[in-house]
Amino acid sequence: MRRIRPEEVARARKDPRLLDAAEYRNENIGGSYRMSGDDWLRRGNCAEAEPDVMYPEPREPIDEALAMCASCPVRTPCLVRALEARDRHGVWGATAPRERRAMIEVWKDINPLAVGA
């Protein structure tokens, strides 16, 4: 796996999806924003999707998965889950694995109570 470039990390720091995920986590810090597998199956747009759609082979198109994520009601908590689990595979929260690798680097440095301060 290639190294993450500094410009990718800089871009991730400003990514609205990451900022939304951090805000969501902060708002729910004492709550139950982590969802079990059953909740994702019932609430996510990907509930009925074939695994190959959300976990395509490397260099396979991910357009179908991203389209599903675009209007998903659990897109932000899905991304929070992926970032907290440091999941670098598949499409989660409308992000591609290559995007999330840089987001994970930023995520681990974010103080959950400092975002937006």
| Binding site per annotation, positions for [4Fe-4S] cluster | 46, 69, 72, 78
Binding residues: 46, 69, 72, 78
Q: How far apart (Å, rounded) are the C-alpha atoms in residues 55 and 68?
A: 13
Structure tokens at 61: 């198109």
Residue with tokens 């599903």: 68
**Which are the contacts of 30, defined by CB distance < 8 A and separation ≥ 6?**
none
Q: Which helix (H) or strand (E) holds 8?
A: helix 6-14
Of all helices (H) and strands (E), which one includes residue 10?
helix 6-14
Structural contact between residues 100 and 12, judged by C-beta atoms closer than 8 angstroms: no
